[in-house]
Amino acid sequence: MTTTQELSLITESFVLNMGPAHPSTHGVFRMRATLDGEVIVDIEPIFGYLHRGIEKLMEERTYTGCIPLTDRLDYVNAMNNNFAYCLAVEKLAGVKVPERGEYIRVITAELQRIGNHCLAIGAMLNDAGALGTPFFYLWRQREKIYDLLEMLCGQRLMQNYMRIGGMSQDMPDEFLPALAKFIPQLDSFMNEFDFFLKQNEILYARAKKVGILPKDVAINCSISGPVARASGIKRDLRKDDPYSIYDRFKFDIPTGEIGDCYDRYRVRIEEMRQSTRILEQAIKQVPGGPFRADVPQVIRPPVGEAYAHVEGPKGELGFYVVSDNSIAPYRCHIRSTSLINLTALRQMVRGWKVADLIIIFGSIDITMGEVDR
Amino acid sequence: MIAALPAKDIVSKLNAKFPGAVEEAGADAVLVKADSLLAVAEYLKTTDNLKFDYLNYVTSIDYYSYFEVIYMLTSLTHNRSVVLKVRCYTRDNPTVPSLAGLYEGANFQEREVYDLMGITFEGHPNMKRIFLWEGFDGYPLRKDWNR
Amino acid sequence: MEVNKDYFYDSLKLDRQEGKLIEKTKAASRKTIPDPDAWLDEDIKRNIVVTSLDWVVNWARRSSMWPAVCYPACCGMEFMAYLAPRFDGSRFGMEIMRASPRQADLIITAGTLTWKMAPAVKRIYDQMAEPKWVIAMGACGISGGIFRSGYNVVPGYNKIIPVDVYVPGCPPRPEALIYGIQQLQKKIAKAKAIPNLSELPNPLKRGKE
């Protein structure tokens, strides 16, 4: 890049504040960007504008009462957080979830993954300049997923549906046929959507070779999820450390080669297709029986600590729960995906222009509720 | 399957290389002394058959008589994980050496531990509060913090 | 990878200045700001009559309210769903989200307010030109919601800015938000749009302010 020094013009770098209320910062995220003309020299991310103190609030509620709080962490896909928390407490208390409960958990987790990727891709294309059209097309699919989840548990967004030991209610009878009708429609929509955007020259110009994250930097910065897989790290917790019943399903893990924005976009599209594969297999295998283990509403796990992680749509989401045999957790730490994925932002962005900063930031796909907790 | 490496294997290797560093070895966690944390972590990261190159999380717990800082390391090549713990027994200005030079992923998480629990990390490039504002009174996640 | 620890500015000094601003806002926001148009609620029941010029101006104002960008948290998802094709928000005139608060006249506060964010929201509200309205969306907007006892959470937006309509829910469905917006539209329909000219300061009389 030609800096202004080469043009023998005396300039200074200046600090631009991309403030907490900004249309493309995906929530209240603030950056102090040091610019040399239009080229970014350094950024300092500042968060905490949505810090609600969830870890401290969890010490004042019972184990079951913490589940609505975990809903609001990564609010784009709420049941995923419930999943990770319930796994951690079940590990601590030694509770075994019955089969039907496990299948419902996997079905809802994969539905949330599809919904999250719809939003992530839509928001990234919004930042790239396609002002709303792909976003609204993908939002229609998200609304259909909302309808399915409302049929299942009554709430569109903050479902609060999982409990320690299973689910809180059973699946209604009309849910599985409705899901079976939704999947082929989603497949044909994804094919149509992909056809328009896969070789779009504007997307190529804006996202190819932009914001490259090399593989060793990604490992050093503890990146996980689609961002890491786009950089070539073949790591998916559903295959490497199977939790729940994920070892019964056949699915592939898409990876990218270079680690630019376009690779992250492709990885997310392919992951949506793999999720529909898992859903098709799960629908056929759901057994009858109890959906929840016989666990009291206010449980007292024995003294100890446990860590459980799931492969969320954004990456590795984990809960570290410490118990001292009382009705509330002694300490609950949330290994938050988005906060750790932001570690690499500074290195990814140096040398690019301000417009590229927006699309690079959009391609990491963060949610401020999870960053700030 | 990410197997948690049994603590005894790690402990025997660590005892051979750094005598006196390991204080206790629980069932799946290894407690090391604070001043040898950096050397132990570097050894775990670079040795060929251990190669713990991925840091999962950094967190801290306030037991009333001591603070405990917990690190979980994973080896992507060998598919194993290990948990390291460090304790500080002072409440006034607890310090622990920082792993931000080795693992960049520890950067924000150590700032969060400083912000909410008050444990300073020596050698961290940017030891500032991250979630709360400068001038906030106290460290909220401590057990003796009252609003 | 070596870390560049010297920014071009002193970030700790900037952070300390902002911290003082936050403490000042926190100390000044202990009481609820009352709604300035609270008298309108009784008059809506009594069906007051406005002049025809007022009616036209009010109709124009309520049919094209442009919201400012302010979606911190989970209610932002339902706000986006409200703007999406299913619960089309643009049929109520809210097609465009204005990024600059100077061009907006409505804030729909879609998320939890924290003390760290409070000066920023106050600044957005101050930058908006009259007439401006605020809808507090969700339980966090009304009273702090499920996070009320958090150390960083403001117990409701009405400690910082005056609120016109409260929409309960966690998060409120888009239909509930539409109902809240229609209540606001009824409120605007009864407002006195054209001020009395004798009440305004007269620019022709110099020296007598």
For the stretch B123-130, contacts whose Cβ atoms lie closer than 8 Å and that sit 24 or more positions apart, written own/partner, are B123/B38, B123/B97, B123/B98, B124/B98, B124/B100, B125/B100, B125/C3, B125/C5, B126/C3, B126/C5, B128/C11, B128/C12, B128/C15, B129/A48, B129/C15, B130/A47, B130/A48
What six digits make up the tokens of C68? 């400012």
Answer whether residue C4 shows pLDDT above 50: no
Nearest residue to B41 via CA among B65, B18, B25: B18
Is residue B26 assigned to a domain?
yes
How far is Cα of residue A263 from the mean position of the Cα atoms in its chain?
17
User: What is the share, in percent, of chain B residues with pLDDT greater than 70?
Assistant: 92
Range with lowest mean pLDDT among A54-63, B128-137, C90-99: C90-99
Q: How confident is the model at residue C199 (pLDDT cuts 50, 70, 90)?
A: low
pLDDT at C3 (0 to 100): 39
Q: What is the pLDDT of residues A180-214, one digit of tens each?
A: 999 999 999 999 988 888 778 888 888 888 888 89
Rounded CA separation A84/A51 (Å)? 20
ipTM of this complex prediction, to 2 decimal places: 0.90
pLDDT at C150 (0 to 100): 85
Answer whether residue C203 shows pLDDT above 70: no
CB contact under 8 A, B76 and A233: yes
CB contact under 8 A, C78 and A157: yes
∠ CA B76-B77-B80, nearest 5°, is 60
Q: How confident is the model at residue C41 (pLDDT cuts 50, 70, 90)?
A: low
Provide the domain count of chain B: 1
Q: What is the pLDDT of residues A268-298, one digit of tens each?
A: 999 999 999 999 999 998 888 888 888 888 8
A274, A252 contact by CB (below 8 A): yes
* More reliable by pLDDT, C8 or C182: C182
Q: What residues form DSSP beta bridges with C135?
A: C108, C165
Q: According to the CATH classification, is domain A4-372 in 1.10.645.10?
A: yes
User: What is the share, in percent, of chain A residues with pLDDT greater than 90?
Assistant: 31
In angstroms, the Cα distances linking A353 to A11, A350, A361, B97, C91 are: 17, 8, 12, 36, 37
Question: Average of pLDDT values for C14-22?
Answer: 86
- The 3-state DSSP composition of chain B as helix, strand, coil percent (nearest 5) reads 25, 30, 45
Q: Is A290 exposed, middle or buried (0-12, 13-18, 19+ CB in 10 A)?
A: middle
Q: How confident is the model at residue C1 (pLDDT cuts 50, 70, 90)?
A: very low
C135: alpha, beta or left, given left = phi > 0 and alpha = psi -120 to 50? beta
Tell me, yes or no, if A331 comes closer than 8 A to chain B by beta carbon: yes
Q: What is the pLDDT of residues A68-96, one digit of tens each?
A: 988 888 888 889 999 999 999 999 888 89
Measured over all CA atoms, what is the biggest interatomic distance in chain B, rounded to whole angstroms? 49
Tell me, yes or no, if B55 comes closer than 8 A to chain A by beta carbon: yes
Query: Between C1, C11, C19, which is nearest B133 by CB?
Result: C19
Domain C66-181 -> CATH class:
alpha beta
Q: What residues form DSSP beta bridges with C166?
A: C136
CB contact under 8 A, B128 and C11: yes
Question: Average of pLDDT values for C39-62?
Answer: 71
pLDDT at A144 (0 to 100): 92
Answer whether residue B2 shows pLDDT above 80: no
| DSSP-H helix ranges across chain A | 54-58, 67-71, 78-93, 99-128, 133-153, 175-197, 201-207, 215-220, 226-230, 237-240, 261-285, 337-341, 345-349, 354-364, 368-372
Q: What is the pLDDT of residues C151-188, one digit of tens each?
A: 889 988 888 888 888 999 888 999 999 999 998 888 88
In one-letter notation, the amino acid at residue C93 is: G
| Sign for the pseudo-dihedral over CA of A351, A354, A359, A364 | positive
Between residues 166 and 225 of chain A, which touch chain B (CB distance below 8 Å)?
217, 219-223
Q: What residues form DSSP beta bridges with B63?
A: B66
Answer whether residue A349 shows pLDDT above 50: yes
Q: How confident is the model at residue C18 (pLDDT cuts 50, 70, 90)?
A: confident
Q: How confident is the model at residue A103 (pLDDT cuts 50, 70, 90)?
A: very high
Q: At what angle do helices A133-153 and A99-128 cross, to 10 degrees?
A: 160
In angstroms, the Cα distances linking C90 to C93, C166, C177 are: 5, 21, 13
Instruction: List the chains bordering chain B where 3 or more Cβ pairs fall under 8 Å.
Output: A, C
Residues of C in contact with A52 (CB under 8 A): 112, 114, 147, 150, 152-153
Tell me, yes or no, if B1 comes closer than 8 A to chain A by beta carbon: yes
B147 CB neighbour count, 10 Å cutoff: 9
> Which residue in chain B has the smallest CA separation from C22?
B133
Min Cα separation C203/chain A (Å): 37
In angstroms, the Cα distances linking A43 to A20, A344, A353 are: 14, 11, 12
CB contact under 8 A, A21 and C171: no
pLDDT at C2 (0 to 100): 36
CB contact under 8 A, A42 and C97: no
> Which residue in chain A has the smallest CA separation from C98?
A23
Q: How confident is the model at residue B76 (pLDDT cuts 50, 70, 90)?
A: confident
C61 CB neighbour count, 10 Å cutoff: 18
Nearest residue to A28 via CA among C72, C98, C118: C72
pLDDT at A105 (0 to 100): 92
Q: What is the pLDDT of residues A350-367, one digit of tens each?
A: 888 888 888 898 888 888
Range with lowest mean pLDDT among A304-308, B122-126, B138-142, C205-209: C205-209
Is residue B134 assigned to a domain?
no
The mean predicted confidence, pLDDT, of chain C is 81
Tell me, yes or no, if A54 comes closer than 8 A to chain C by beta carbon: yes
Min Cα separation A71/chain B (Å): 20
User: b/e for B4-39, b at 16 or more Cβ within 10 A?
Assistant: bbebeebbebbeeeeeebbeebeeebbbbebebbbe
Is residue B138 assigned to a domain?
no
Range with lowest mean pLDDT among A290-299, A312-321, C1-10, C52-61: C1-10
Q: At what angle do helices B7-17 and B37-46 cross, to 10 degrees?
A: 110
* More reliable by pLDDT, C51 or A237: A237
Q: How confident is the model at residue C83 (pLDDT cuts 50, 70, 90)?
A: confident
pLDDT at C151 (0 to 100): 87
Measured over all CA atoms, what is the biggest interatomic distance in chain A, rounded to whole angstroms? 77
Q: How confident is the model at residue C38 (pLDDT cuts 50, 70, 90)?
A: low
Question: Average of pLDDT values for B72-77?
Answer: 87
Question: Average of pLDDT values for C65-78?
Answer: 84
User: Which CATH number is B104's domain given?
Assistant: 3.30.460.80
Q: How confident is the model at residue C15 (pLDDT cuts 50, 70, 90)?
A: confident
Answer whether residue B1 shows pLDDT above 70: no
Is residue B144 assigned to a domain?
no
Q: What residues form DSSP beta bridges with C108?
A: C135
Q: Where are chain A's structural domains?
A: 4-372
In one-letter notation, the amino acid at residue B36 is: S
Q: What is the DSSP letter of C35?
A: P
Question: Average of pLDDT values for A9-25?
Answer: 79
Q: What is the pLDDT of residues B17-72, one digit of tens each?
A: 777 667 777 767 888 888 888 888 888 888 877 788 889 999 999 988 889 999 99
Sheet hosting strand A331-335, strand order edge to edge: A304-311, A316-323, A331-335
What six digits make up the tokens of A286? 């759901």
pLDDT at A189 (0 to 100): 92
Q: What is the pLDDT of residues A126-175, one digit of tens each?
A: 888 877 788 889 999 999 999 999 998 888 888 889 999 889 888 898 99
∠ CA A317-A320-A325, nearest 5°, is 145
What six digits make up the tokens of C157? 């937006």
Indicate the SS3 state at residue A333: strand
> Which residue in chain B has the smallest CA separation from C26?
B136
CB contact under 8 A, C19 and B135: yes
Is residue B140 assigned to a domain?
no
